[in-house]
Amino acid sequence: MDLKDLYRDVIIDHNRQPRNFGRLEGADAHAEGFNPLCGDRLELFLALDGERLKDLKFEGKGCAISVASASLMTEALKGKTRTEARRYFDEIHALLTQPGHVPTLELGKLAALSGVREFPVRVKCASLCWHTLNAALDQQGAPVSTE
Ligand code: ZN
């Protein structure tokens, strides 16, 4: 099995069985995201403990890549600090848009998102949850759109 197959399997797995799917009661922060290019919608809920992201959950409907990306993100960021979450945002943005980008963080399964780079039209599907995360951390009330 080569790396591409492995990445595809991770995306398929997280789309079929999204982790941390559902509403988070009593969330400390919340944001909605919409990608009109594909029709992906998601709502992200955060439970914060000071600087730390104690819990993350998401709900929504979207294509396989948008769901898998949100699932991978919530799994990877649970227990991380706000500062670390922002660093992951920057890292994933670079991973999705810069060919040959060499990660500076331990990405684990998030590395599977690098496969999306080959499909520029899907980059916004993969980045939607990350923009929504930024909005939730900023506590912006307005829904975000990738447009
Ligand atoms: Zn999509």
Express each pLDDT in 46-77 by its tens digit: 999 989 999 999 999 999 999 999 999 999 99
Check residue 13 and give its pLDDT: 97
Can you tell me the distance from the alpha carbon of 130 to that of 25, in angstroms, rounded to the nearest whole number?
21
Cα 31 to averaged position of ligand 1 atoms, centre (Å)? 18
**Poorest-confidence range of 42-56, 73-87, 97-111, 120-134?**
97-111
CB-based contacts of 102, cutoff 8 Å, min separation 6: none
Q: Given its phi and psi angles, is residue 18 left (phi above 0), alpha (psi -120 to 50 degrees) or beta?
A: beta
Architecture of the CATH domain 3-145: Alpha-Beta Complex (3.90)
Residue 1 has pLDDT above 70, yes or no: no
Check residue 6 and give its pLDDT: 85
Cα 35 to averaged position of ligand 1 atoms, centre (Å)? 7
- State CA 99 to chain mean position distance: 19
Higher pLDDT, 140 or 126: 126
Domain boundaries, the chain: 3-145
Cα 128 to averaged position of ligand 1 atoms, centre (Å)? 9
Cα 26 to averaged position of ligand 1 atoms, centre (Å)? 28
Can you tell me the distance from the alpha carbon of 76 to that of 1, in angstroms, rounded to the nearest whole number?
24
Cα 126 to averaged position of ligand 1 atoms, centre (Å)? 7
Can you tell me the distance from the alpha carbon of 67 to that of 70, in angstroms, rounded to the nearest whole number?
5
Residue 133's pLDDT band, with cuts at 50, 70 and 90, is very high
Can you tell me the distance from the alpha carbon of 15 to that of 34, in angstroms, rounded to the nearest whole number?
18
